[in-house]
Amino acid sequence: MRLSIRIFFASYVACSAVMGFSVHADTSAIEDTSLGDVSLEVYNSIIKDSSFSRFKEMDCKVIGRSISKVGSGVLVFATTESACGWGASIGPIWLILTEDGKSKLVLSSGGYGVSAAKICNADRVVISSSLGGRAVFKRFLYHGGKYVPAPYVKAGCDPR
């Protein structure tokens, strides 16, 4: 799965250069060895969300790391440590925006990896996973203080 994610993003970046817009994607995955303890503010923003309740019952520890800048804030990727509560290489993915000393949960999803990039002046993330041997990519756009489902961006920044 890791190789297919890397190939996807390498081809996406190369394709975007040909189409006339540049992309630098910051990526991470639920099995990333660079994940570590999260701040208390980040942790508190996750445990308040209903998506965390089943992981709280299993006494899962939250780990994560900063993956991108969004506006004047920093986007933190978080998941559970040691595959706690995961199923078939798909784990919880929380994205938390930290800005001015405050943390806010901006996306709760599930998958294997996450990539964050600014495309056509818009902050976007892609959550990747594999289902039945096929790669699955869910795209989100930062809008209105959270990430919302977004269409694929074609050449010239036209989201159709």
**Is the per-residue pLDDT at 46 higher than 80?**
yes
Q: Which SS3 state, helix, strand or coil, does residue 54 take? A: helix
Residue 70 Cα distances to 15, 51, 138, angstroms: 23, 23, 19
pLDDT in tens, 97-147: 999 989 999 999 999 999 998 887 889 999 999 878 889 999 999 998 999
How far is the C-alpha of 56 from the C-alpha of 151, rounded, in Å?
Answer: 33
Angle at 33 between CA 110 and CA 152, to 5 degrees: 40
Domain extents for the chain?
2-157
Residue 71: which of 108, 93, 102, 30 has the closest Cα? 102
The answer to whether residues 139 and 124 touch, using CB atoms and an 8 Å cutoff, is yes
pLDDT in tens, 63-96: 999 999 988 899 999 999 999 998 877 999 999 9
